[in-house]
């Protein structure tokens, strides 16, 4: 299983110890949003210490009730690179409601640890009450 899949499952569980084991000390991470007005300038880090701060802020401002992965499909590319399609459902604190989002992640792993992570949130759709 690609490291990115393990990392995303650890994130879903809120398993910080496992996330530490799956990321390099110099993890280069950034999350962008496609055509969204949300300020995501703070959603980046350059090392594991900054990752911990980022995860803390994500837990309160974006995922206060956690997340549920609906689908996770990773294609392994060449030289440790992967391309992942992630679909998840969560209570989005920014909107104050349940949403489903589709994201794309380009990641790189070396020696069993993720050292590069670029996520583009492509869509965030409100879940309709029904």
Mean pLDDT of 91-107: 94
Q: Are strands 81-92 and 97-110 parallel, antiparallel or unpaired?
A: antiparallel
User: What stretch of H or E contains 120?
Assistant: strand 113-126
Q: What domains are defined for the chain? A: 3-126 (3.10.450.50)
Q: Give the pLDDT confidence of 59-90 residue by residue, as tens digits.
A: 988 899 999 999 999 999 999 999 999 999 99
The pLDDT, as a whole number, for residue 130 is 61
* CA-closest candidate to residue 88, choices 67, 109, 64: 67
pTM of structure:
0.92
User: Which tokens hold the place of 117?
Assistant: 């992570």
* CA-closest candidate to residue 44, choices 124, 104, 120, 125: 120
Please state, in angstroms and rounded to a whole number, the distance separating the CA atoms of residues 102 and 51.
Answer: 22
């Amino acid at each position: 299983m690609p490291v990115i899949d393990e990392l995303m499952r650890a994130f879903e569980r809120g398993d910080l110890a496992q996330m530490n084991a799956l990321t390099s000390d110099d993890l280069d991470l950034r999350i962008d949003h496609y055509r969204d007005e949300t300020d995501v300038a703070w959603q980046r880090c350059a090392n594991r210490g900054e990752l911990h701060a980022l995860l803390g802020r994500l837990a309160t401002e974006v995922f206060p009730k956690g997340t549920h992965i609906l689908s996770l499909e990773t294609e392994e590319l060449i030289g440790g690179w992967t391309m992942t399609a992630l679909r998840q459902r969560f209570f989005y604190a920014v909107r104050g409601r349940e949403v489903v989002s589709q994201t794309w992640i380009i990641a790189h792993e070396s020696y069993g640890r993720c050292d590069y992570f670029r996520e583009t949130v492509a869509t965030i759709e409100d879940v309709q009450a029904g």
